[in-house]
Amino acid sequence: MVPRVSQFLAAALIATQSSLVFDFTSRQKIGSTHMQPFMWKQLPVPTPATLEPHLPFITPRVLELVYTAYDMTPLARDLGDEGEPFRWDEDRRAQLRAELDAFFFRVYGIDDPDDVDYILETFQTETGGLKHNEIRDHGEYRTKRLVLTEYDRMAAADAAGVPYESPLTLPPGQGPRHPARGGASTLSGRRLTER
């Protein structure tokens, strides 16, 4: 897929198609183990006009999640970032993803926390999947807790007529970065994008 939109809307498309609600809605459409081009064209992607007002929210989060290695520098520059790649901080990344997921649940019109809960529960199999893997790795279904928390915080901010604010100490898009190349410490080929 090659979108014919601005780089900022392309970043929003990355965020949309990486969201849990998009995954859920896509699974309702796809009846096999692979996706045909005609199916791809029918998936529920918000229009650019829907996403454009939210680019200041989406872009810094996508930037920080994607720009963790020097090979992503061209994308970072296209998004107006001139810094070094972001450090991989699993807890911070989980929070950024939760904020995006909560946001997209709201964009898709999922306005009942019980519906969000139900959808999040579908990310499991008998022996694995997101839910079981997180319980194994973290002792809880961390993604569900984080997404529901941010979903509630966004709803409360909307109800109070105030902007949503991330609970992160350093705002999204301003997280810790790697030192400049040639400094005291270099990446020396370490693959930062591996989990």
Q: Exposed/middle/buried for 67, CB within 10 Å: 0-12, 13-18, 19+? A: buried
Query: Which of 93, 86, 91 is closest to 192 using CA atoms?
Result: 86
Percentage of the chain lying above the pLDDT 70 cut: 90
Q: Among 107-116, 154-163, 180-189, where is mean pLDDT lowest?
A: 180-189
Residue with tokens 């993604």: 143
Q: Among 7-21, 48-62, 81-95, 178-192, where is mean pLDDT lowest?
A: 178-192
Q: What is the structure's pLDDT at 34?
A: 73
Give the single-character DSSP code of 41: T
